[in-house]
Amino acid sequence: MEKQSAGRSVSVVVFDSGIGGLNLLCACAARVPHAHYYYICDEKNVPYGNRPPEEITRLTLSALGGIEELNPAALVVACNTVTANCIDKLRRKFTFPVVGIQPAVKPAAALGGKCLVLATNATVKSAAFLNLVNRYAPADTTAVGCERLADYVEKNVLSLPDRLPEDLLPDIHADSVVLGCTHYTFVKRQIEARYNCPVFDGTEGTAAHFWEIVGTADHAGVKSGDFRPLAEKELKITYICQNTDRYTQIMKCLFSNYKLHP
């Protein structure tokens, strides 16, 4: 698809079961600030990570019902669980591009040593995730489904402690950690401290791929930290959820601390 001109606004739908996708929304908005973003979540059923694949698919299709009327330039699936379990169905259903997020196994594996992937049970058990690991890091990768971590972040995002409860994370030695759930990005600093090693997530790589699809020409050549295109209050974001004030507050915090990575 040809990139939109700098002066032309486009609509973009970003979907996650809850707050996790706001990290990816922030990264996408920093690259393509003049789009109208529709953030759709499923507050009634969040999180999806402990549900069976059939239910994940059903809930996702229900939450995204009618988005064709928004005429989006793209759908960004800001949920590893949904990407792993039903993104192929979404791509068959919709005529516009569907961008998914995956755990950043490849750059973590490049460091060598033992790689620990923290994800949801539904992601860890999926064929898509197993194929990803087998492709890039089949030997020294351990994947753990963190059954309660996403729900903990969802409920406590505005008051997260510096140290996470011990029972939320596995007691495993790792030389690198990959976050396989967008909720976990909110506690990336705590996870880095817990394992004392580099921690990777798929946010920036997915946002860069999104930019390739609907990016604007005025972003060419941007260097890390050099470009803040719009203040958060200038972004056009419609939250299709119940507690819009909460999502607005979280997004404001994210954007105030964000630095663009090329």
Annotated catalytic sites, by residue?
79, 181
Q: DSSP readout, the chain?
A: -PPPPTT---EEEEE-SSSTTHHHHHHHHHHSTTSEEEEE--TTT---TTS-HHHHHHHHHHHTTTGGGG--SEEEE--HHHHHHHHHHHHHH-SS-EEE----HHHHHTT-S-EEEEE-HHHHTSHHHHHHHHHH-SSSEEEEE-TTHHHHHHHHGGG--SS--GGGS-----SEEEEESGGGGGGHHHHHHHHTS-EEESHHHHHHHHHHHH--GGGTT--TTS---S-GGGSEEEEESS-HHHHHHHHHHHHHT-----
Q: Tokens representing 152?
A: 């903990």
CB neighbour list of residue 205: distance below 8 Å, 6 or more residues apart: 104
